[in-house]
Structure 1
């Protein structure tokens, strides 16, 4: 008889929320909740594969929003994108703690008891909504808070350091010949789904692709709606894309020239530069790449 159980899910937000639902449904308290490819079972631990159920996931997310507020639900979404091995476990423990805190509320001395929709245990207390995420001294909250904050920082890095290339449209994959903008990124968490809405708002009806080469995931926007495309096992997506447009080299060189002109050599601070501009992004930044003319001069 196994004393401990671990839940394995498919690595998506819906799969993680389905695992949380399964824990309540089966009256179990899993020691670990992790994607199947990253789960490392402990000695004597039983592993249960949890299938993804969209209706169960939606119920859990609605319950978190209703009981804990939208900030807690957003933190859960962010944590599901983390590469930390205990991110799924942190989400499960936080949901358990937040729901239990709602059940332990005391309505006897509340002045709004007569008009409150949560009176007599009929629903969540509006006064307690959002407080679970603020209790960062509790271990179940502290870990989720740290993971969520790191994901927020990574999203901000992507919003700052994404550089698009203008590509020709005749080989994009449709018959319209629409030109597309392409960006390659390498974040330390799978945050492309979290930043797609930002770039859709910025670029409007202009189609674009953001390719996460680390997690083999592409966010594709066709000018009307965006979707995610898994590229695992399909090689480098950039090789299947069309060539840059004729004016792409000109604009890239103009951007590099502007970057060099605004720099002040006397105030060059490499340590501070690496702090605000992580080095893992440098290879995809246009301003930090050598121009083709400079490369030809160096080779000759």
Structure 2
């Protein structure tokens, strides 16, 4: 008869903590987002979420990795996107990085990974026409297939990025249409000031347009929603964060003596070209969203009208 042996229970060592998912948190800038893409290749990881640190909401059991912005790594990723996917894809990446959509960072990451992997499958050494091709001579990705991944709008990674980038592009067009400048002068300063309230942080995307329009006239475009100011000194433009500094306009000079005259002339012109018989408020709100009205000179009451109403 076989004898049974009893063994004492051995104490179990503490199991190491295992994370099934990882999320990348960056500083919210384009450079930080592209650095996160670079780090994912460097660490051989595929994060589930890529989002600004202020907006990231970790999932249950998800490890959060803070990504430190590295401009050199970001520039390498951007050059790679331009080289393999074309300038249109690089522009879409820039626009999506400025969006307020919480999934914008993840959309950019998934698109770049998909586009890079798709381009690798179209290498010249795997092409049947590599001997007769007049491209690179059979080395590297096929130059004729550049940009093909971004045109595949049916793929979820492309469709998500395209939708976000298109929304940001529409917001840029709204800012180009509805930005109204005031002439400020005093204490040796002579500049133009515009206050905007976009849905996305589009000031970096529209500064080049207004620099071309304004010439050598210094100006400031202040995004009161994202607390960001684009400053042009007549030669170069740069971005200034106003977070925690209160209202920027309080620290600026007052309106020039002729600003009230110009504003009233603009309101008079706006009223004179309107046709009361064709007034359509719904169509007006469609082409001119109501959230822009508070910063539009033509829709503000003149000081004389306000004094008359007070009486």
> What TM-score, normalized to structure 1?
0.95
Structure 2: gaps of 5 or more residues: 1-17
Aligned equivalent of 1:174: none
Q: Is it true that 1:35 corresponds to 2:52 in the alignment? A: yes
Counterpart of 1:21 (choices 38, 46, 62) is 38
Q: Is it true that 1:255 corresponds to 2:266 in the alignment? A: yes
Aligned equivalent of 1:218: 229
Displacement of 1:196 after TM fit?
Answer: 0.2
Displacement of 1:116 after TM fit?
Answer: 2.2
Displacement of 1:232 after TM fit?
Answer: 0.1
After TM superposition, what 4+ stretches of structure 1 lie above 4 angstroms from structure 2?
A: 111-114
Displacement of 1:111 after TM fit?
Answer: 6.1
> What TM-score, normalized to structure 2?
0.92
Q: Write the deviation string for residues 178-214 of structure 1: whole angstroms up to 9, x where unpaired.
A: 4100000000000000000000000000000000000
Aligned equivalent of 1:149: 166
- In the alignment, the residues of structure 2 paired with residue 118 and residue 56 of structure 1 have an alpha-carbon distance, to the nearest angstrom, of 29
SS in 2 for 1:194: helix
Aligned equivalent of 1:240: 251
Counterpart of 2:294 (choices 278, 283, 289) is 283
- In the alignment, the residues of structure 2 paired with residue 282 and residue 251 of structure 1 have an alpha-carbon distance, to the nearest angstrom, of 18
SS in 2 for 1:168: strand
* Aligned 8 A contact 1:23 1:29 in 2: yes
SS in 2 for 1:135: coil
Counterpart of 2:114 (choices 97, 100, 109) is 97
Count of residue pairs brought into register by the alignment: 292
Displacement of 1:131 after TM fit?
Answer: 1.4
Displacement of 1:52 after TM fit?
Answer: 0.3
* Aligned 8 A contact 2:267 2:299 in 1: yes
Displacement of 1:118 after TM fit?
Answer: 6.8
- In the alignment, the residues of structure 2 paired with residue 118 and residue 178 of structure 1 have an alpha-carbon distance, to the nearest angstrom, of 59
* Aligned 8 A contact 1:6 1:30 in 2: yes
* Aligned 8 A contact 1:21 1:60 in 2: yes
SS in 2 for 1:134: coil
* Aligned 8 A contact 2:81 2:112 in 1: yes
Aligned equivalent of 2:98: 81
- In the alignment, the residues of structure 2 paired with residue 292 and residue 117 of structure 1 have an alpha-carbon distance, to the nearest angstrom, of 68
Greater CA radius of gyration, 1 or 2? Answer: 2
Displacement of 1:117 after TM fit?
Answer: 2.1
Equivalent runs, 1:1-300 vs 2, <5 Å = 1-105=18-122, 107=124, 108-110=127-129, 114-117=133-136, 119=138, 122-170=139-187, 177-300=188-311
* Aligned 8 A contact 2:123 2:142 in 1: no
Q: CA RMSD, aligned part only?
A: 1.1
- In the alignment, the residues of structure 2 paired with residue 193 and residue 112 of structure 1 have an alpha-carbon distance, to the nearest angstrom, of 45
Displacement of 1:114 after TM fit?
Answer: 4.7
SS in 2 for 1:131: coil
Displacement of 1:113 after TM fit?
Answer: 5.2
Displacement of 1:130 after TM fit?
Answer: 1.3
- In the alignment, the residues of structure 1 paired with residue 290 and residue 193 of structure 2 have an alpha-carbon distance, to the nearest angstrom, of 21
Displacement of 1:124 after TM fit?
Answer: 2.6
* Aligned 8 A contact 2:19 2:63 in 1: yes
